[in-house]
Structure 1
Amino acid sequence: MNTLVAVDLDRTMIFSAAALGFEVDDTVVCVEMFERAPLSYMTTAAAESLRTLTADAVVVPTTTRTIEQFQRVSLPGAPWRFSITSNGGNILVDGEPDRAWRAGFSDIDLGGVREELTRRTGGDWVLKRRTADDLFCYLVVEPAAVPPGFLADWSSWCAARGWNVSQQGRKIYTMPDVVCKNRAVAEVLTRCIDDGILDDRALTLAAGDGALDADMLIAADRSIRPRHGELEAKNFRHDGLVVTRSAGALASEEILTWLQAETAREVDGTIRASAASNKARG
């Protein structure tokens, strides 16, 4: 095993009924319940592919969800040695938050940013205000009712203070630049190498659909995104990035097939290199 795979969850691996791209039927399995009702699904094919992938690679679920929201998901392939939540603000080790990693974000000025955001967002276009794991905040909005210029003005104010803004559907995230998936994935990779789980030539693969996944996709050796979501709307491209042919939940099947193929290719290459080295020594 010499591959680390970082996978975003919502609209990359798991989907709401509205985001599936087809009606809920017997080709999908529920992977998240909320308030006694099904909330998120995977196709049965994708679920089986994810289980298979975990046998050949270090799979790291990597999500903007809070710890509590992540723990609601029954993701195939669990339990996970490492998982990343809160957009990289938390690393879970065997399901438990790593306090040392979280302490590295103790000086974030969340209070000041939240106060300014509240001052700028009066009006019924804001449905909910949320703070996530005391790391960042987000609004749930009526997208069509967001005032013209709000995102540009708010982004400018935040950028001058080391924060960034991203709208994903009905949610507008306000995030410290230091809280990012890429930094957390790099930390997990280092730990896997230090623990002997991977060697220092390990291949890194990544999959995600939103702007908050972009840094992770760029940093990976190879990456893939679905043909939907925020990155599709931005026509995001990068060297080493593959875009699926499908959208919706069918894209997750395509993503997992690609991840399996890339992992198998790495395994085959490692075996061939080892055999050649042994032959040379013999």
Structure 2
Amino acid sequence: MSTSVGAPLGGEKSPQPVTLVASDLDRTLIYSAAALQLTMPDAQAPRLLCVEVYDRAPLCHMTETAAALLDELARVTVFVPTTTRTREQYGRIHLPGPASRYAICANGGHLLVDGVSDPDWREHVADRIAGECAPLAEVRSHLRTAADPAWLLKERVAEDLFAYLVVDRAALPGDWVEELTAWADPRGWTVSLQGRKIYAVPKPLTKSAAVREVARRTGATRTLAAGDSLLDADLLLAADRAWRPGHGELADCGWDAPNTELLGERGVAAGEEILRRFLRDAHMQEARG
């Protein structure tokens, strides 16, 4: 995803390289209590910082070490939170460090600039979905018909862009997601199972497309990325360098790519290690000038 920068005029100094860091949030940088995967004795567990409160209770965390790393990272790179969350859900997160000017929500459906959705980007995404995909109403109708009330807990639409189901994983038939994928694929939709949620997302709705737009606007010369789910695969593939934690949908299916490093760490420890790798790479690029 490198962005070309014109050659400097004679006698001018080359522009300082700009590193863009695009990272998924849930189960990549931030973790619910159920996803922490702490393996050490309680007395040796790392101190945790709560970064999201929901219904007046702490929901997501990162280690204090990870918080310090993110604070530094956001000061030396263009750090872009890149999430499938809706804008409202993203608004509950309070990450350490300076506020990011750019953020990507709804899996690329909304490009936030200083907290406000960019209307031109939203229109561009809507046009592509309308031209390449079956309507959302058709997908929702199929989901309602195909899902079994025995394991379906909720059916939701996010930002009028995509749909998802909240399910009882223990009761979900093992081949149901595969069958849904076979139905959705020729209609231009992608299916992803993440925890208790099954997402149905239009194929043009990608994190990588929105990140390319941020790279274009910022003049970034290098892009780093991290993520754990199938909805992050396009983001990882499009980056110059990427990292995948030892847990999650991509790890479960053995996903790999030449530019992606597969980490052994799982849970909140993986989030800390990802930030350490981001920062190390950014400093190396800065030193090379």
TM-score, with structure 2 as normaliser: 0.88
Q: 2:105 is matched with which residue?
A: 85
In the alignment, which of 249, 263, 271 is matched to residue 252 of structure 1? 271
Among 7, 16, 22, the alignment partner of 2:32 is 16
SS of structure 1 residue aligned to 2:35: coil
Structure 1 vs Structure 2 CA RMSD: 1.5
Aligned match of 1:229 in 235, 242, 248? 248
Aligned partner of 1:171 among 197, 201, 207: 197
Say whether residues 1:33 and 2:59 are aligned partners: no
Deviation at 1:6?
0.3
Aligned: 1:64 with 2:64: no
Q: Give SS of 1:217's match.
A: helix
Give the distance between the partners of 2:276 and 2:147, measured in 1 at CA: 43
Deviation at 1:39, TM superposition (A): 0.4
Equivalent residue pairs, number: 263
Conserved 8 A contact 2:75-2:98: no
Aligned to 1:275: none
Distance 2:257 2:230 in 1: 13
Q: Which residue does 2:71 correspond to in 1?
A: 51
Identity %: 45
Q: Aligned to 2:143, which of 93, 105, 117?
A: 117
Report which structure shows greater RCO (CA 8 Å, sep ≥6). 2
User: How far, CA to CA, are the matches of 1:234 and 1:26 in structure 2?
Assistant: 29
| Structure 1 unaligned spans of 5+ | 271-282
Name the TM-score, length of structure 1 as normaliser: 0.90
Aligned to 1:274: none
CA displacement at 1:44 relative to structure 2: 0.3
Q: Distance in 2 between matches of 1:209 and 1:148?
A: 21
1-structure distance, mates of 2:178, 2:259:
30
Q: Distance in 2 between matches of 1:204 and 1:243?
A: 17
Within 2, Cα distance between the matches of 1:116 and 1:252?
36
Tell me how far apart the structure 1 counterparts of residues 232 and 68 of structure 2 sit (CA, whole Å): 24
Residue 26 of structure 1 deviates from its aligned partner by 6.5
Question: Aligned-pair distance for 1:147?
Answer: 2.9
143-152 vs 235-244, greater mean Cα deviation = 143-152
Deviates more, 1:48-57 or 1:151-160: 151-160
Residue 280 of structure 2, aligned match among 247, 251, 261: 261
1:188 maps to what in 2? 214
**How far apart, in 2, do the equivalents of 1:46 and 1:30 lie?**
12
Q: How does 1:71-150 map to 2 (within 5 A)?
A: 71-106=91-126, 107=130, 109-150=135-176
